[in-house]
Amino acid sequence: MMKKISFQDLPRLFREISETQTLIAPIEKCGQVNFGVWTPDSTLRLDALKTVKSAKGAFFPQVEDIVHFRMKDKTIDIHPAEVLTEDFVIFGVRACDARSFELLDRVFLADPVDPFYAARRKHGTVVTLACNQPEETCFCTNFGIDAADPCGDVTAWMDRDTLYLRANTEKGEALISRLENGEEAPVEDLKKSIGEILKKLPLNDLNLTGFDGDHLMEKFNDPKWEELARGCLGCGTCTFVCPTCQCYDVRDFDAGENGIQRYRCWDSCMFSDFTLMAHGTNRPTQTERFRQRFMHKLVYFPAKNEGLYSCVGCGRCLEKCPQSIHIVNVIKSLGVKEDD
């Protein structure tokens, strides 16, 4: 059943939601739009197509505590961090980020299940938003994602001054059932017009043939990696804005008399201390680290997950890499050429 609400009434709806649960939405702070906790004073930016960081942080935060230890005489107090027990809503997730949750599920909900992630997935309601104006850096169409009709618990469309919402799950139904009924026609029109734009995107026809487990060694040994990685600065921008990068490190902070705080935080395969072991690192140069990132997304992940690529085509790395080196370069240089 289609529901609707005017933009004018949106703050009221948000206030109602935020009274009973945490509401996360794209919010502008110091000139940049990122997902953050909505309060009545926040600057809501549903119009912003791409937040700088992806929406994955709602389920897999950049930093989270795991356990706390403290020595007391001859005993050690151990306090595991609590998993989330309260419901929350994340509003305004785009189709690409919504798909990324499915990819993260395959990592964190596979055995052994990650309790922190699982609790957030259980308690989170995802409201997605169709992309009225996709950008030239978007290439989600290559991965079978429909930006005109994204998945999620609720799907929303912005049409002039009205927001149309459709519940896809029971959780979604519970969130929007109180809204008034809306018409289907404007949404159909919108889907059609978005579909037209999606067809025109310049990066629509990436050829992903050959990026699979069968060609693993061929891709791994491709001499082009060195040239591709030459300009790479080794910063973690691409990995930290990426919706599907899921590597993390577990670290201890020694707070002196306050004991030891063990936490996990995002890690980046671009860093020289990524998966550092006692013997050193097994990827000593940037070329190897660079290769790891793209081999993971385009070869290792699909080989283990029925051909599903670990890229959703959000294009954040295209916009944010300081030296404009990104996954589309890699696909085009290592992939099969049309005339081959």
Partner 1 sequence: MSVNKEWTPNIVAFCCNWCSYAGADLAGSGRMNYPANVKIIRIPCSCRLNPMFVLRAFQRGADGVILCGCHPGDCHYSTGNYYARRRMTVLFSLLDFMGIERGRTRVEWVSAAEGAKFAATMNDFVKTVTELGENKKLGDLRCKK
Partner 2 sequence: MQEMIVNRLRELLASGDYAGVIGWSKGETPFDRTPGLFTEKDLDRLCYDSFCGSNLSKYLIANAKDKKVIALLKPCDCYSFNQMCTEHRIQRENVYVIGVGCKGKIDGEKIRNGGIKGITGVSEEGDLLKIETLYGEKEISRKDVLLDKCLSCKGKEHKCADEVIGESEDTSVGNKYELVEKLDAMTPEERFEFWRGELSKCIRCNACRNACPACSCIKCVFDNPKSGVENKAAADDFEENLFHIIRAYHVAGRCTDCGECSRACPQGIPLHLLNRKIIKDINELYGDYQAGEEIGQRHPLTDFTFEDDEPSVVERRGGGK
Q: Which residues bind partner 1 (CB under 8 A)?
A: 253, 255-258, 261
Q: How many residues does the chain have?
A: 340
Pick between residue 22 and residue 204 the one whose CB is nearest to partner 2: 204
Q: Are 283 and 289 contacting, i.e. CB atoms less than 8 angstroms apart?
A: yes
Does residue 223 bind partner 2 (CB under 8 A)?
no
Question: Considering CB distances under 5 to 8 angstroms, the limit depending on partner class, which of partner 2, partner 1, none binds residue 236?
Answer: partner 2
Per CB under 8 A, the list member of 77, 136, 205, 218 interacting with partner 2 is: 136
Contact map string, positions 254 to 273, toward partner 2, x by CB under 8 A: -------x-x-xxxx--xxx
Q: Looking only at residues 139 through 198 of this chain, which bind partner 2 when binding is defined by CB under 8 A?
A: 197
Could you tell me whether strands 22-29 and 43-44 are parallel, antiparallel, or unpaired per DSSP bridges? antiparallel
Residue entry with tokens 């240089």 = 333
Q: Which of 267, 234, 238 is nearest to 250 (CA)?
A: 267
- What residues are paired with 167 via a beta bridge? 154
Question: Considering CB distances under 5 to 8 angstroms, the limit depending on partner class, which of partner 2, partner 1, none binds residue 258?
Answer: partner 1
Does residue 250 bind partner 2 (CB under 8 A)?
no
Does residue 227 bind partner 2 (CB under 8 A)?
yes
Return the exposure string of 301-322: e unless at least 16 CB atoms fall within 10 Å of the residue's CB, then b: bbbeeeebbbbbbbbbbbebbe
Pick between residue 138 and residue 179 the one whose CB is nearest to partner 2: 138
Identify which range of 49-57, 82-90, 153-161, 300-308 contacts partner 2 by CB under 8 A: 49-57
The token pair that represents 226 in the structure block: 């060195």
Please give the Cα distance from 242 to 97 (Å, whole number).
9
DSSP state of 82: P
Q: Which of 191, 178, 150 is nearest to 1 (CA)?
A: 178
Q: Report the interface residues with partner 2, using CB under 8 A.
A: 29-32, 34, 49, 52-53, 62-63, 133-137, 197, 200-203, 227, 230-231, 233-237, 239-241, 249, 251, 253, 261, 263, 265-268, 271-273, 276, 318-320, 322-326, 328-329, 332
